[in-house]
Amino acid sequence: MTVGNPISLILRFSLPLLAGNVLQQLYNMVDSMVVGNFVGANAFAAVNISFPIVFLLSSLFTGIGSGASVLISQFFGAGDMEKVQKTVDTIYKVTLIGAIPMTIIGLLVVRPLFQLIEVPESQMEMAVTYCLILFGGLIGSLGYNVNAGILQGLGDGKTPLIFLAISSAINVGLDLFLVAVIPWGVAGAAIATIMAQFGSWIFGIIYINKRIEGIQIRLKTEFHKDLMRRIIKLGVPTAVQMSQISVAMLIMQWVVNGFGDNFVAGFTAANKVDAFAFMPIQSLSVSMTTYVGQNIGAGKIERVKRGVRNGAFLSVGMCLAITAIVLPLMDNILLLFINDTPEITAAVLHTGRGYLVRVMPLMFSLAISFIVSGALRGAGQAIVPMIGSIFGMWLVRVPVAIILSRISDVPENMFWGFGIGWFVGICIIVPVYLRGSWQKNALKVGL
């Protein structure tokens, strides 16, 4: 990524990432669609309620993995493959050891957390079952994400896509068999997911060991304290940011749960559409981190600025185009997730529409925030995006949503809090980038 047209490189790197994100999202989405159509609306909601809890407890490793990916991109940009290997050794050792306590913690806290956010009784047992099985197979998800981070740091976004394509096909087939044929309900969907994720992890290890020159994933890995300190410096702010997003999701779920089963199902379905719509922007953000990291490693600051500028315009344009497509078709899209009685379906659609018309038109502001945040992370400045996210989330988005849910006769008005919070985040992150202090403070390779 240090030579050639920046926007072309970023786009070429983003497209496989986008396809990979779509496939990864399909793990949960296929589970949702299968149980929603073959079991019912409550099963659909139960599967999706589990996501914030799994995301919360796995975010520490995901954040640390992103820090390792930044280091790998910088070392690779500087041509230092020895340090790339040392970084791979270090992050793998942390993941393999840390997955054990994380799995145990997840198994212990699932039910108390669901009780805390007042999950409806009609959904509680199914949600607990689904979540417990996912935590039992957490190592597969963590392992895949570590492999993907290694390859992305090297500038390879295509290979993780192949692994995901294979495992997604396995997931779809197992979902249909274990839910629709046997049927095992939400338990079958969860088993299908962990089996497919484990497969994608193993495929990644085999590929890296056989095809990537100078890098080996080993069971007995070395641990390098100096590199771990740098990984923590880069990764912990991202982990904190992801964790607090998960907590905010749980609080929103608690607020939403107070309006009944159908409102929960409508919110959940619309949230799935929202997540899918934002995937291109998320992929561009990850591409930006790798692009900036490699060019920082090569000492090309002006090239970094040009790439960030082009990436911001591209992401906003894509976001506006997606919004223009989704809103006219939102009823048809929402109906993919629900097949219930006419009364329940109508109530679910009403809530889903209310969410999408309030959130989608303002998503371009989140696109700007993600691109600039990705650039700052690639430059080694991960704390600023964390601060912007925390302020936007806890000073604005969550309080505004709670207040509007209490004072408004239209409960869907709580969703205005999303866009307002995003604008506050921009007001913190963008000025820091424009001020340019990241240029002299950027993490330098070899220090």
| DSSP codes, 62-117 | HHHHHHHHHHHHHHHHTT-HHHHHHHHHHHHHHHHHHHHHHHHHHHHHHHHHHHHT
Side chain identity, residue 350? H
User: How far apart (Å, rounded) are the C-alpha atoms in residues 254 and 381?
Assistant: 33
What are the sequence ranges of the domains in the chain? 6-441
Mean per-residue pLDDT of the chain: 82
Q: Where residue 414 falls among pLDDT bands split at 50, 70, 90?
A: very high
Confidence class for position 340, pLDDT limits 50, 70, 90: low
CB–CB of 171/114 below 8 Å?
Answer: no
Q: What is the pLDDT of residues 275-297, one digit of tens each?
A: 778 878 878 887 888 888 878 87
Instruction: Give dist(CA 28, CA 176) in Å, integer.
Output: 13
Does 30 score more than 80 pLDDT? no
pLDDT digits 0-9 by tens, 37-89: 777 767 777 777 777 777 777 777 777 777 788 788 878 877 888 888 888 88
More confident residue, 98 or 30: 98
Question: Is the Cβ–Cβ distance between 387 and 428 less than 8 Å?
Answer: yes
- pLDDT tens per residue across span 181-208: 887 888 888 898 888 888 888 888 898 8
Q: pTM for this one?
A: 0.68
406 burial level (CB within 10 Å; 0-12, 13-18, 19+): exposed
